Amino acid sequence: MPDLTDLTVHAAAGLLAKREVSSRELTQAALDRIAAVDDRVKAFVTVTGERALAQADAADKRLAAGERGPLLGVPVALKDVLSTAGVPTTCSSRMLEHFVPPYDATVVRRLAEAGAVSVGKTNMDEFAMGSSTENSAFFTTRNPWDLERVPGGSSGGSAAAVAAREATYALGSDTGGSIRQPAALCGVVGMKPTYGRVSRYGLVAFASSLDQIGPFTRDVRDCATVLNAISGHDPGDATSAPVDTPDFAAGIDAGARGLRVGVPREYMPPTLDAGVRRCIEDALRAFEAQGATVDLDLTLPSTEAALAVYYIIAPSEASANLARYDGVKYGFSWQRGESMWENMEETRGRGFGAEVKRRIMIGTYALSSGYYDAYYLKAQKVRTVIRREFDAAFERCDVIVSPVTPTPAFKIGEKADDPYAMYLNDVFTLPVNIAGLPGISVPAGFVDGLPVGLQIIGKPFDEATVLRAARAFEQTADWHMRAPALTA
């Protein structure tokens, strides 16, 4: 019997299908693993052991009845930004510390229908604002490869949970790199689908025009499998695209022959960490060895502007999205004030952490009368320019390849007092959100024992090609099969 916590989704599904292992055994193994390592990793905000075992038993019944499914009975961890009926959904914020939603997010419902077993809710930067989980109001998640380092963020808990073998796969959300960056820093596969591919209904909003839900998995095939389950038009999300969902797993083994790989000059700056650069260059050679062509002369001139665009649009939308947390209806509520207004102000002052407040203030300012044109409107115009530059780049290539982050995982506390240094961590990932494109991070090597991620970006709704390229690359090495020493 293999180590049940080390299985991929398809390996687990295979064993379940053959009835060689039960969902209860898989689930119990995950819960045992959480009990064994999570006091060090701190990936979970809430572990739903009893619920998980009940779901596992239900899955076993379905399996016994002859039903088969790629996710049926397989344990998953959910970022605590996804609404789960009857299970606290905190967004790692004091504001929602005790909030229990009455409804399931569409992706949660889809996973439940597929028979997934949810073992718990994972830690994150508060309201998904951050790149390290240090902005969690509760605790910082540790990088399983080095417990002194951050796992990345904002979906750091989900990435760490998969890397530390606490769940077979996980869901996260990505607004500016919040899936790809922690996936890279934790050495797992993480994908942000095209904006509109996956319903956002029930994803607690940070920046509505940028947010997208996606999977964390151990390999690319699992990623395609999970994407199959969560994709598709949702009448409850007006921004979810009315497009068909192809079988993403179907063509992933087609190889990289003939694939046109483009590398934007702006994504390989001189400041790039030497170790990271080496990993990316190795990856490009691997693509060429597989019969792909590599174009190193691609250019996305407005890359530098993307950070500014992002830090206007995302906080602007957030300033409105977070206005509902006023202590009146649900969540944290300060009630010791003299007046209603005082209570509302104190609720927000005490309920939100520093980074959330910083972004609400930036957004409120950017939208203010007299500044709107200079900031928000200008940012939207540059956003269009960035989109067009990607369009032009995709005339010359099928996928764009780049590093995910400029450096491997940094130390906890290293950038905590320098928001701008922290924001720079996302320079290669957030243009992808601005343009609404699909992007994946796949393990591409190690620097001083720390994982490095390779980003592969595709055309809108062309996840299939991204996954095929990622799968082709993944098979040239065994980076994705390595587990942190924690598990040794």
Judged by the rule CB under 8 A, the positions of this chain that interact with other proteins are 81-83, 89, 91, 96, 99, 101-103, 105, 200-205, 207-209, 235-239, 316-317, 319-320, 322-324, 326, 328-330, 340, 344, 364, 367-369, 372, 376
What's the closest the beta carbon of residue 429 comes to other proteins, in angstroms? 19
Distance CA 200, CA 195 (A): 9
What's the closest the beta carbon of residue 155 comes to other proteins, in angstroms? 16
Report yes or no: 404 and 454 within 8 Å, Cβ to Cβ: yes
User: Length of the chain in residues, anyone?
Assistant: 488
What's the closest the beta carbon of residue 165 comes to other proteins, in angstroms? 29
Q: Report residue 112 as tokens.
A: 């439940």
Q: In what order do the strands lie in the sheet with 399-403?
A: 44-47, 117-122, 75-79, 169-174, 212-217, 189-192, 439-447, 450-457, 399-403, 260-264, 293-298
Of 312, 315, 445, the residue nearest 383 (C-alpha)? 312
What's the closest the beta carbon of residue 49 comes to other proteins, in angstroms? 24
User: Catalytic pick from 23, 132, 158, 178?
Assistant: 178
3-state secondary structure of 142: coil
- Known catalytic membership, residue 79: yes
- Known catalytic membership, residue 178: yes
Distance CA 215, CA 167 (A): 12
What's the closest the beta carbon of residue 78 comes to other proteins, in angstroms? 12
Q: Report residue 8 as tokens.
A: 């991929």
Distance CA 476, CA 289 (A): 9
- Known catalytic membership, residue 92: no
Nearer to other proteins, 108 or 292 (CB): 108
Q: Which residues make Cβ contacts (< 8 Å) with residue 369, sequence separation at least 6?
A: none
User: Catalytic pick from 23, 42, 79, 441?
Assistant: 79
Strand (E) or helix (H) holding 126: none
User: Catalytic pick from 118, 154, 402, 441?
Assistant: 154
| Phi-psi map region of 152: left, alpha, beta (phi>0 left; psi -120 to 50 alpha) | left
Active-site amino acid positions: 79, 154, 178
